[in-house]
Amino acid sequence: MTCTYLITGANRGLGLEFSRQLAARGDRVIAVVRREDAAGGVAALAARVVVAEVTDAAGVEALGREVAGEKVDVLINNAGVSSEGKTLAGVTAGEMERVFRVNSTAPLMVTRAALPALRAGGRRLVVNISSQLASIANNTGGSSYAYRASKCALNMLTTCLANEFRGEGLCFVAMHPGWVKTDMGGPQAPMTPEQSVGWMVKTIDGLSMAESGRFLNYDGKGLPW
């Protein structure tokens, strides 16, 4: 069955690869990019390109208007940033606010804006791209304060949404994509975007309400909070 996917950060990295793989199999992609001149290769893949700055209230409102008449099956909150300060000495309040705005607040606001379109869709699924660095249980190394904390907050928001909308049949999961060769992951990462997204698409295809509120690895295995 053909589905409609709404993907943020769709012009590069994992977002672009999601767009490529989903479009190749016949799914309909609505690609969200920050600037029109940044659309790049995704413009040829997506059924629609929506220009919206998802960290800006006006941008999110505009996104909501753009998709108001759509039937969105799956929202992939993919847009994210890494943090500069890796240690306590290097982190600043401004850095914490910037990273939280992109990695935590923006996915929540995008979800709210897209909610009418998700309710109209068939699958009613939201995938928040998280990170294993958000795992408190697995944090033995410290560092990357802003990034870890922002993704941990995203995980909490995922469970809150899952609990609030379970009665409506809306499914929310947080997903670790693996360590991937992207601008964020760096060239030393063991996985390519094609490999990571291939796994995630397979996992997303198999998700049901039984997984709502869970923190999953790209291969569908559960990760500890």
Q: What domains, with CATH codes, occur in the chain?
A: 52-217 (3.40.50.720)
Catalytic residue among 5, 145, 147, 218: 145
pLDDT of residue 84: 82
| pLDDT-above-90 percentage for the chain | 86
Specify the DSSP element, H or E, that contains 113: helix 106-120
Give pTM, 2 decimals: 0.96
Active-site residue, 218 included: no
Q: Within 10 A of 174 (CB to CB), how many other CB atoms are there?
A: 28
Q: Within 10 A of 184 (CB to CB), how many other CB atoms are there?
A: 16
pLDDT of residue 190: 83
The alpha carbon dihedral of 76, 35, 68, 48 has a sign of negative
- Over residues 6-29, the pLDDT tens digits come to 999 999 999 999 999 999 999 999
pLDDT of residue 80: 94
Question: Low-confidence residues of the chain, pLDDT below 50?
Answer: none
| pLDDT-above-70 percentage for the chain | 100
